[in-house]
Structure 1
Amino acid sequence: MDFLLKFKLNERLYLRDPESSDLGKTIVNNAIHLIHEVGFEQFTFKKLAQKIDSTEATIYRYFSSKYKLLTYILNWYWCYLEFVAKMRLQHIADPEEKLRLMLRIIMHDDAVVSKVQDYNLEKLHAIVIAESSKAYLVKEVDAINEEKVFSPLKSLCHFIHEIILQLAPGFKYPKSLASTVLETAHGQQFFSEHLPSLTDNKSRKEHRKYVFDYLNQLVFSALKSH
């Protein structure tokens, strides 16, 4: 099933809204493919311009830096993930079932769309796993945070923490657990795929299933012992 989604993202991330034109969407779409292909460190606007048969100046009319372009892509993904979660969880009453489904959604194991404005969701998820920490593990994080750039990530974590409290109202660390789950999902999958000795995935296969099982153990053990 295909969906056409549009999220209102922080205007400080772009000079011209990429959703406002076909060219802007082309820039974002091809940036996703290129970052996935070469990694954020090797990604440049020059390479992106060559990929879309345009000029660096054209890309700079939309984004002032590759950091802001990456953060834009990540913010789009956080909005998408929360949208999917709210859509899938709205008719579920049991909080434990909600939380287990939320973990599947975080693991991108419960995709409800196969195509979103031509964005490749699997490549988006791979970028989140490999590159998302680069959006906030920067020296200027406090100044960036004041501009509310991380609001989509915070909103998603808040949504998860509300589900945790529905299941365990007395749990002392719902926000910390929510953000830990999100970071662990990405970090452990990265380790499982590339540094497997840092995990207990003995098969060194089925990385997503391994991390999903680990998250269930981690989350529900913590909630039952509080």
Structure 2
Amino acid sequence: MKYLLSNLKIDINNKIYLKDPESSDLGKRIIEHSIQLIDDIGFDSFTFKKLGIIIGSNESSIYRYFESKHKLLLYLTSWYWAWLEYQLVFSTTNVTNSNEKLDKAIDILTRTIESDSTFAHIDEVTLSRVVINEYSKSYLTKEVDDENKDGYFSIYKRLVTRLHDMMIEVNPNYKFPHSLASTVLEGALHQHFLKNHFKSLTDCNQKVQPSDYFKHLVFNALDTKT
């Protein structure tokens, strides 16, 4: 799978950026170090000025790629969902058993992220922490409806649809597949957050992973067994 992914470019809605950061070394450094800086200080404290100091470039040069830090966050989260989507597709394409396919899909979408050397300028483990901690800030805005119309969340919605379709394969009569699929993706972020910060509010820990919980939840909801 790593070989296949290395030959793919992750496509992000070009309305999110002014200049494709993948098109230059500076753009890639903006992405690499913004992930690290947001992870270090949080999105609220993150500024292009602080990022510029770290990468040794003028703040104005960053604005040539992204018009705001909100758009940068949209780019990072979109990249993360697209990366997960590629993994999901490659890992389930040849799985013919519907239950096994859904089980594998849930595992991919809810597991703890491990290092992937396919994209040298992106630390997926750090990016996953950024998504867990900051993703909601990308859509809890007054502009969310307009941004949704412009397709800013299309990758995330497509990922939910893929999971929805797999659930329907397992149980075509289940009444709430969209709700359940979106609950898995959003809930996985929440459970990882609770596991890291509010341990008394979740049963997930070092031994019990969010993927264990969501497999139990989904297959019981679909009234079938893995």
Q: What TM-score, normalized to structure 1?
A: 0.92
Is the aligned partner of 1:105 residue 2:104? Answer: no
Note if contact 2:115-2:125 (Cα within 8 Å) is conserved in structure 1. Answer: no
CA distance in 2, matches of 1:43, 1:188: 25
After superposition, what is the alpha-carbon deviation per residue over 1:75-117, rounded to whole angstroms, capped at 9, x for unaligned?
Answer: 0111111111000111111111111111111124475943413
User: 2:34 maps to which residue?
Assistant: 31
Is the aligned partner of 1:196 residue 2:199? Answer: yes
2:93 counterpart (90, 93, 96): 90
Query: Structure 1 counterpart of 2:15, which letter?
Result: R
Cα shift at 1:195: 1.1
**Structure 1 range deviating more: 72-81 or 5-14:** 5-14
Identity of aligned residues (%): 43
CA distance in 2, matches of 1:155, 1:69: 20
Q: CA RMSD in A?
A: 1.8
Query: Structure 1 counterpart of 2:13, which letter?
Result: N
CA distance in 2, matches of 1:30, 1:123: 11
Note if contact 2:110-2:184 (Cα within 8 Å) is conserved in structure 1. Answer: no
Q: Figure out how many residues of one structure are paired with residues of the other and give that number.
A: 221
Query: SS of the counterpart of 2:40?
Result: helix
Cα shift at 1:129: 0.8
Query: Structure 2 counterpart of 1:172, which letter?
Result: K
User: 2:210 maps to which residue?
Assistant: 211
Q: What 5-or-longer segments of structure 2 have no aligned partner?
A: none
CA distance in 2, matches of 1:128, 1:52: 22
After superposition, what is the alpha-carbon deviation per residue over 1:173-204, rounded to whole angstroms, capped at 9, x for unaligned?
Answer: 11111100001101011012101222134xxx
After superposition, what is the alpha-carbon deviation per residue over 1:46-100, rounded to whole angstroms, capped at 9, x for unaligned?
Answer: 1110110111000001000000001001101111111110001111111111111
Is the aligned partner of 1:80 residue 2:79? Answer: no
User: 1:51 maps to which residue?
Assistant: 54
**Distance 1:21-1:8 versus aligned 2 partners, 3 A rule:** same
